[in-house]
Amino acid sequence: MTMNKQWIYASKPNAQVSPTNFSLQEAAMPQPKEGEVLVRTTLLSLDPASRAWMIGPTYRPMLNPGEVMAGWGIGEVVVSNARNFEPGDLVSGDYGWQQYAALPARTLTKHDKRHKPEHILGALGITGLTAYFGLLEVGRPRPGETVLVSGAAGAVGTIAGQIAKLMGCRVVGTTSSADKCKWLVSELGFDAAVDYKSGNLHKAIKEACPNGVDVYFDNTGGEVLAAALSRMNVWGRVACCGAISNYDTATPTPGPAGVPGLLVTKRIRMEGFIVSDFYNRKREADTALAKWVTEGKIKAAVDVVEGFDKMPSALAGMFAGQNRGKLMVRV
């Protein structure tokens, strides 16, 4: 009988997450109940939010040591005890870090096989939707405005920046190395990029954004947020998507000193969002993203790590800034 390998969330990270916080276990193959579907995992997504789930409640309850590590995945239906699903279907859902999962059919999404699974998990999935709604609905850029994106070489950042270019904006990204800066400009069409580790961040953002910042798409929080606020224009908007700078540390940076003073004098709107809040308009976004990716107007950058055994090290690597685009593991 085939066993099911699982990565267990074994211990709470003290500071930075490491592979020692996870343990591999073999469990019995899960049995789908009525209304459930047994799926075989093909790809598992690694997301900054994974780290946040380990330390407290977010938009999902806190994970507790001993549980299968949570994570989004895509794979194939093996057994279906639910209407509308049959073996061979390509489905995504909240798989967890495991090779097989028995999941309620209502929590799964069936996908068109003409799209690559890597893209479904990235630009055509939650990642792309997050960038789409966060930029367009929360940030609301207008043509000619300057859009600054932090974590710009990451999954959401790469897409948010490219959508902003399609909207006719000047787009500047921040990332953690000179190499990734070059990549953002030469491969993804950003107008400029700033290595936030290279020295005077305020000065670098000022030079890259000579007309100030109208929309700041914030994936990081921390010092980039503080610097961005000081460079925002009157009526600026900050779309708060995440705070990766504070997820993987025991010593989070203090809040930005410009809050609330700069918000008042510059009339800045800072707004947090969760992608699912916009799912009443998911069809519109799915259609737009599929068109842009299919036509090559958005490059769906994916960074695929091979091997289920690499899950923990891939997660740690993400916080070390190793990935370019959407990070996932092929199981």
Q: Which residues bind to its own copies, rule: CB under 8 A?
A: 57-59, 218, 221, 225-226, 238, 240-243, 246, 252, 254-274, 277
Spatial contact of 47 and 56, defined as CB atoms under 8 Å apart: no
CA dist., res. 281 & res. 210, Å (int): 35
Task: List CB contacts of 69: < 8 A, sequence separation 6 or more.
Answer: 7, 8, 9, 22, 50, 63, 96, 97, 311
Q: Which is nearer to its own copies, 157 or 242 (CB)?
A: 242
Q: Which is nearer to its own copies, 90 or 226 (CB)?
A: 226
CA dist., res. 218 & res. 5, Å (int): 36
Q: Which is nearer to its own copies, 16 or 58 (CB)?
A: 58
Q: To the nearest whole angstrom, how small is the minimum distance from the Cβ of residue 157 to its own copies?
A: 15
Q: Which is nearer to its own copies, 88 or 252 (CB)?
A: 252
Q: To the nearest whole angstrom, how small is the minimum distance from the Cβ of residue 265 to its own copies?
A: 5
Amino acid making up residue 133 = F
Distance between first and last Cα of the chain = 19
Q: To the nearest whole angstrom, how small is the minimum distance from the Cβ of residue 245 to its own copies?
A: 10
Q: To the nearest whole angstrom, how small is the minimum distance from the Cβ of residue 262 to its own copies?
A: 8
Spatial contact of 171 and 191, defined as CB atoms under 8 Å apart: yes
Q: Which is nearer to its own copies, 185 or 240 (CB)?
A: 240
CA dist., res. 228 & res. 215, Å (int): 10
Q: Which is nearer to its own copies, 67 or 271 (CB)?
A: 271
Q: To the nearest whole angstrom, how small is the minimum distance from the Cβ of residue 303 to its own copies?
A: 23
Residue with tokens 């290279």: 198
Beta strands in 154-248 (DSSP E): 170-175, 192-195, 213-218, 232-240
Assign residue 312 a region (left: φ > 0; alpha: ψ between -120 and 50; beta: otherwise): alpha
Residue with tokens 């939707």: 129
Q: Which is nearer to its own copies, 67 or 235 (CB)?
A: 235
Q: To the nearest whole angstrom, how small is the minimum distance from the Cβ of residue 16 to its own copies?
A: 17
Q: To the nearest whole angstrom, how small is the minimum distance from the Cβ of residue 91 to its own copies?
A: 27
